[in-house]
């Protein structure tokens, strides 16, 4: 039955698979936006349908039989099926769009598809969009005067591929074909012939996946035949010297005439340095890299493309493009095969970017049963809540406190930063990145310190420190004396005395620092509250809570729970999923099926803009205080 959820009309699709068996499998159901192909709808629920052409309608293998629902035949269908088969309902699923409810049969796969456990407990069918086909061509004669390109195109057609060649490639054909004595390997990416190589090179096919973060860029070199990781490298985003966050970089492009071109050049240089290191480590040639997938927030993706991000920073926050973008490597300056295809994953909104789309691929949140919450904690808190039934997303401006900024002794997570804190009845234990003496406090240490102060009773739910004299009644004197008061009566807590610090001065957590943390966590927790109200779910309904991003990897789940950053679920349900964006980009590179899922996500996931919403302001104010400990169970 066609359904409408929050203004979005969806159609119902029922897949009956393994129907040739005496005991057929249970039908699989899904609801998708009108216009989605049956092939992509099947991918959405993890039902493999055979295909070798990347769902381009040329291989003729993705056959299904429509049992109920109007579905006209396409030209591609008429090339594959007889009139009798068409009358019986047979269609190519990659060409068949669902505009009303559909019931169809899916033939069993002829063999077991290659799959791997990727992301976070996801079984992913490995089916890259790069195909290397060994061809032995018949040399031309007076009786067979086909052109070089026609000779290749005809041979590819017999293998089930239709591909167009660029002028660059056409110029190379005469020399390659004759030097190779007409035995070549054709490299087809999607519907484009991107390379013709002498001899048999089918064993060497590589791709790159990038997570282009505001601070850090992670690159992965992958073997497209096996799915194996060949090399992984990370580096600082060279744009960081022009601003620590996306707003400052957008401002730089607005205030400087060459700002956009400069930031574009810097990120391309950053990527090319990573590429050089990855190729050297993996002993792979640049011309053997045929495809690239990138994930990143909307601003980073715009700067990579050289597209003006100004409108993202101004209400109503409009990107130049939100759909998946495909360009050639030479168009964006990447130092690999010039004809290689580069795919930028789509956005859900101006501030819920391709990094979160990649996170959805890595976790499968929007495709699974049971409500889950995904939070990327940072200057901009990106939040996605939902399941296969319905998924919503939003972004909350948290500010830089989680990055250690605007904190008196704050710093980034580097050597010397306090990253974890434990407070007992009579002592404090600090975990310092790199070991040695502390010189400052990073975001995870800030969360830990506040959570431990709440547990010890040294901080009230309001965020205020108790007086040292009061603290002396329930903790040891050594701990109580760490609560100090300045000349203006403002309290602070000493994490490390000057003689214990590598910087020669005491490292303190001030009342102002606590307020900065409260505003940051209040913004994210308020955003979570809004989307939970939107779906009508309570904390007990959450199957899992995922903390994503580099910062999310280092947060102590118990501390996040104590300060109210996440809903009060049992701590074992809170999982750090690390670089989910990088994992999702890798999945999209190794499986064109998953990339099609990513392409569909903006149609599936509802984006809610918090700016100006009264319910967000109410939620924000209601969660500013820290939770009462007894409410956490």
As a whole number, mean pLDDT of residues 228-232 equals 97
State pLDDT tens for residues 124-158. Answer: 888 899 999 999 999 999 999 999 999 999 999 99
* Secondary-structure percent of the chain, ordered helix, strand, coil, rounded to 5: 35, 25, 40
pLDDT grade, residue 553 (50/70/90)?
A: confident
What's the mean per-residue pLDDT of the chain? 91
pTM, whole model, 2 decimals?
0.88
| Strand spans (E) along 505-541 | 507-510
Is it true that 206-344 and 366-400+517-632 share their CATH fold?
Answer: yes
b/e sequence 423-437, b meaning 16+ C-beta within 10 Å: beeeebebebbeeee
Q: Is a pLDDT exceeding 80 seen at residue 323?
A: yes
As a whole number, mean pLDDT of residues 410-430 equals 92
Nearest to 319 by CA among 308, 306, 304: 308
Mean pLDDT lowest among 73-82, 263-272, 399-408: 399-408
As a whole number, mean pLDDT of residues 303-326 equals 94
Q: Are 152 and 146 in contact (CB under 8 A)?
A: no
Q: Is a pLDDT exceeding 50 seen at residue 456?
A: yes
Any residues with CB less than 8 A from the CB of 257 and at least 6 apart, and which? Answer: none
Q: Is a pLDDT exceeding 50 seen at residue 439?
A: yes
The pLDDT score that the predictor gives to residue 293 is: 98
Mean pLDDT lowest among 107-111, 160-164, 271-275: 107-111
Q: Is the peptide bond before 568 cis (omega within 30 degrees of 0)?
A: no
Backbone CA torsion sign across 598, 600, 605, 610: positive
Tell me how far apart the alpha carbons of residues 366 and 549 are, in angstroms, rounded to a whole number: 18
Specify the fold of 3-110.
Answer: Ubiquitin-like (UB roll) (3.10.20)
The pLDDT score that the predictor gives to residue 4 is: 37
Quick one: tokens of 10? 């969806």
Burial level of 48, CB count in 10 A (0-12/13-18/19+)?
A: middle
Q: Is a pLDDT exceeding 70 seen at residue 219?
A: yes
The pLDDT score that the predictor gives to residue 110 is: 60
Q: Are 356 and 382 in contact (CB under 8 A)?
A: yes
Tell me how far apart the alpha carbons of residues 124 and 118 are, in angstroms, rounded to a whole number: 6
Three-class secondary structure of residue 420 per DSSP: strand
Tell me how far apart the alpha carbons of residues 400 and 402 are, in angstroms, rounded to a whole number: 6
CA 241 remoteness from chain centre = 25
Architecture of domain 130-198: Roll (3.10)
State pLDDT tens for residues 83-115. Answer: 999 999 999 999 999 999 999 999 877 666 788
Q: Is a pLDDT exceeding 60 seen at residue 23?
A: no
Q: Is a pLDDT exceeding 50 seen at residue 433?
A: yes
State pLDDT tens for residues 239-266. Answer: 999 988 899 999 999 999 999 999 999 9
The pLDDT score that the predictor gives to residue 113 is: 75
Residue 514 dihedral angles phi and psi, to the nearest 5°: -65, -40
Tell me, what DSSP letter sits at residue 509? E
The pLDDT score that the predictor gives to residue 24 is: 57
- The angle at the Cα of 171, spanning 169 to 173, to the nearest 5 degrees, equals 70
Q: Are 90 and 63 in contact (CB under 8 A)?
A: yes
Residue extents of the structural domains in the chain: 3-110, 130-198, 206-344, 366-400+517-632, 402-510
pLDDT grade, residue 25 (50/70/90)?
A: low
State pLDDT tens for residues 189-204. Answer: 988 999 999 999 999 9
Architecture of domain 206-344: 2-Layer Sandwich (3.30)
The pLDDT score that the predictor gives to residue 8 is: 53
Share of the chain above pLDDT 90, in %: 70
pLDDT grade, residue 631 (50/70/90)?
A: confident
As a whole number, mean pLDDT of residues 152-175 equals 92
CA 464 remoteness from chain centre = 38
Nearest to 348 by CA among 379, 378, 317, 309: 317
Share of the chain above pLDDT 70, in %: 97
CATH top-level class of 366-400+517-632: alpha beta
As a whole number, mean pLDDT of residues 615-623 equals 91
Residue 150 dihedral angles phi and psi, to the nearest 5°: -60, -40
């Amino acid at each position: 039955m066609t359904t409408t959820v929050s203004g979005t009309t969806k159609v119902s699709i029922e897949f009956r698979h393994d129907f040739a068996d005496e005991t057929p499998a249970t039908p699989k159901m899904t609801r998708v936006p009108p216009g989605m192909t049956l092939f992509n709808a099947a991918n959405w629920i993890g039902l493999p349908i055979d295909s070798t052409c990347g769902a381009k309608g040329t291989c003729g293998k993705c056959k299904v039989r429509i049992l109920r629902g109007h579905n006209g035949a396409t030209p591609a269908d008429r090339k594959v099926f007889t009139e009798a088969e068409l009358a019986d309902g047979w269609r190519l699923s990659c060409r068949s769009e669902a505009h009303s409810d559909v019931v169809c049969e899916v033939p069993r796969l002829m063999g077991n598809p290659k799959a791997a456990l990727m992301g976070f407990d996801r079984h992913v069918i490995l089916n890259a969009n790069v195909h290397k086909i060994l061809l032995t061509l018949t040399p031309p004669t007076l009786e067979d005067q086909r052109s070089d390109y026609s000779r290749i195109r005809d041979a590819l057609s017999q293998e089930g591929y239709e591909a167009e060649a660029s002028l660059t490639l056409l110029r190379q054909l005469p020399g390659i074909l004759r030097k190779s004595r007409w035995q070549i390997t054709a490299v087809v990416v999607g519907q484009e012939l991107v390379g013709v190589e002498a001899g048999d090179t089918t064993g060497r096919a590589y791709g790159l996946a990038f997570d282009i973060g505001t601070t850090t860029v992670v690159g992965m070199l992958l073997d497209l035949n096996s799915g194996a990781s060949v090399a992984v490298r990370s580096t600082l985003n060279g744009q960081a010297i022009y601003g620590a966050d996306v707003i400052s970089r957008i401002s730089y492009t607005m205030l400087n005439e060459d700002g956009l071109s400069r930031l574009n050049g810097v990120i391309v240089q950053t990527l090319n340095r990573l590429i050089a290191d990855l190729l050297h480590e993996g002993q792979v040639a640049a011309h053997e890299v045929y495809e690239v997938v990138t994930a990143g927030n909307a601003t980073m993706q715009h700067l990579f493309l050289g597209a003006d991000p100004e409108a993202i920073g101004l209400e109503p926050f409009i990107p130049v493009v939100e759909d998946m973008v495909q360009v050639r490597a030479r168009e964006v300056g990447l130092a690999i095969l010039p004809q290689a295809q580069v795919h930028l994953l789509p956005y859900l909104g101006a501030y819920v970017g391709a990094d979160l789309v990649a996170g959805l691929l890595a976790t499968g949140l929007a495709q699974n049963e049971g409500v889950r919450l995904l939070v990327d904690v940072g200057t901009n808190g990106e939040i996605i809540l939902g399941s296969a039934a319905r998924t919503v997303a939003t972004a909350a401006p948290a500010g830089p406190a989680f990055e250690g900024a605007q904190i008196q002794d704050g710093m980034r997570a580097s050597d010397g930063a306090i990253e974890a804190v434990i407070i007992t009845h009579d002592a404090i234990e600090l975990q310092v990145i790199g070991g040695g003496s502390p010189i400052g406090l990073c975001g995870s240490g800030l969360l830990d310190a506040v959570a431990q102060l709440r547990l010890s009773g040294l901080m009230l739910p309001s965020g205020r420190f108790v007086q040292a004299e009061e603290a002396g009644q329930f903790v040891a004197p050594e701990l109580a004396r760490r609560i100090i008061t300045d000349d203006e009566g403002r309290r602070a807590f000493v994490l490390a005395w000057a003689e214990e610090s590598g910087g020669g001065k005491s490292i303190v957590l001030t009342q102002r620092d606590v307020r900065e943390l409260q505003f940051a966590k209040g913004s994210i927790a308020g955003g979570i509250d809004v989307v939970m109200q939107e779906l009508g779910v309570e904390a007990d309904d959450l199957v899992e809570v995922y903390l994503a991003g580099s910062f999310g990897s280092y947060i102590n789940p118990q501390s996040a729970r104590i300060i109210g950053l996440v809903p009060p679920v049992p701590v074992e349900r809170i999982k750090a999923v690390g670089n989910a964006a990088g994992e999702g980009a890798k999945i999209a590179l190794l499986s064109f099926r998953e990339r099609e899922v990513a392409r569909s996500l903006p149609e599936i996931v509802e984006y809610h803009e918090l700016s100006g919403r009264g319910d967000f302001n109410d939620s924000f104010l209601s969660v500013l205080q820290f939770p009462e400990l007894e409410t956490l169970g």
